[in-house]
Copies of this chain bind each other. A is one copy, B any other.
Amino acid sequence: MLVQKKLLHLPEPFVTESGVALKRPQIVYDDGGNPDGPVILITHGGFADQHVAGRYCAEDPTPGWWDGLIGPGKAIDTDTFRVLCMNALGSMYGSTSPLTMNPDTGCRYGPHFPPITLIDMARYQKAFLDAIGVEELHLVAGPAMGAMTALQLAALYPELIGAAVAVAGCGRTPPAALAANQFIINVLTMDPAFQGGWYDLVRPLAAMKTVHQFLRIMSVHEDLLKTAVWDAVHEGVQAQAERGRAISRYLTATLDIDVRDRDPNCYITLLGAINSYDLGRDVGDYEAGVLRIQCPVLLLSVDTDTVYRLEWAEEVADILNTRMAGQARIGLIDSPWGHLGSIKETEQLCDFIASFVAAL
């Protein structure tokens, strides 16, 4: 499937919760599927981009990150639906972020980019839909930060959303995630090369490499590590040394690729937004915040995800189902991948999502 990558400027400045007006706000987004069909919005994970499915041209080597789920005849069928996915506010792939130019200064925002919240992100998605004239979403779905965005949209704009799928989702950022995200922010800002965010040609590379090794540790369950780099080593006097080398290769293998186009200021902006997430924050009460969601919700957790654990999805489902039995459904994905199962376990994701979409 071919999809189009498009650029849009919002007609008005975007004012953040903190009161900063971002002028000439820009949005990069993917637009694919049936242009006249009902609209499905996909919201991407924290460090991912808008390229969710299909290819930009026949020669494009890499399909989108949820390509297994989305396409002609797939769980999210692009013969039926129009599928949109925009690069989130603050993300480094083209939408307004610390990397984009501040029209007032002619320079990049850099560390002067305002802190944003998950609510800002959801409002930015809404402004995007308004700008392209979409008044109704058949479904909004996403993994991790995308799951937060989907639920936040459903809470803020119940009339807009027909249904929501939150993979590795929760109603508020769990303590373990708060700590891990704050740790990453601390690592980045402590690197002397960070220079208060005014790095330019020389980026804080040691910190970025630290962060990406940490993400590998936190995002993948030990079971997979054991299979991949532990069981593969034959018993013997040298086994433990070989295991060490295998683990080291595992941690550093894709590091140069992983950090190549990543921006530390954007990471800090995104993680700050994730750590602001609590569906009750703007109304002062968690349960009341969750109960704004009116649509059917499917929450999918990965059994080996040690951060976005099942209980955080159940917390949301329990609140909704106490009011209206069956509004929220829970699915547990069986995977050795941990958090990354939210991207990797295509087959199970398809089964759960296809039957959820079929029942709408």
Nearest CB in chain B: distance from A244 CB, A? 5
**In the complex, chain B residues whose CB is within 8 Å of the CB of A276:** 240-241, 244
Stretch touching chain B among A62-70, A71-79, A177-185: A177-185
Is A206 in the interface zone, CB < 8 Å from B?
yes
**Contact status of A183 and B284, CB under 8 A, knowing A175-B226, A176-B225, A206-B190:** no
Asked whether, in the complex, the Cβ of A172 is within 8 Å of the Cβ of B240, the reply is: yes
Which A225-240 residues have C-beta < 8 A from chain B?
225-226, 229-230, 235-237, 239-240
Q: Give every chain B residue within 8 A of A237 (Cβ-Cβ).
A: 281-282, 284
How near does chain B come to A330, taking the closest CB pair, in angstroms? 20
In the complex the two chains form, is A175's CB within 8 Å of B222's CB? yes
A131 to chain B: closest CB distance in Å? 28
Residues of B contacting A216 with CB < 8 Å?
179
Closest residue of chain B to A193, judged by CB? B192
Given contacts A236-B284, A237-B284, contact A225 B175 (CB under 8 A): yes
Interface presence of A23 (CB below 8 A): no
Q: What's the Cα separation between A20 and B220 when bound, in Å?
A: 38
Whether the Cβ atoms of B174 and A222 lie closer than 8 Å is yes
Of B192, B225, B275, the contact of A179 (CB 8 Å cutoff): B225
Q: Chain B's nearest CB lies how many Å from the CB of A185? A: 8
Q: Using known A-B contacts A217-B179, A243-B178, determine if residue A284 contacts B252 with beta carbons closer than 8 Å.
A: no
Q: Which of these, B178, B190, B243, B286, contacts A235 with CB under 8 Å?
A: B286
B284 near A244 with CB under 8 A, answer no
B residues in contact with A239, CB < 8 Å: 278, 280-281
Contact A251 B183 (CB under 8 A): yes
User: What 5 pairs across the A-B complex have the smallest Cβ distances?
Assistant: A176-B222, A175-B225, A175-B226, A190-B206, A240-B278
Which A residues fall within an 8 A CB radius of B?
Answer: 172-176, 178-180, 182-183, 186-187, 190-193, 206-207, 209-210, 213-214, 216-217, 222, 225-226, 229-230, 235-237, 239-241, 243-244, 247-248, 250-252, 275-278, 280-282, 284-286, 306
A-B contact pairs, 23 of them (CB 8 A): A172-B240, A175-B229, A175-B247, A178-B247, A179-B216, A179-B222, A179-B225, A179-B247, A179-B250, A179-B251, A183-B214, A186-B251, A186-B252, A190-B206, A214-B214, A235-B280, A235-B284, A239-B280, A240-B277, A240-B278, A243-B275, A244-B275, A244-B276
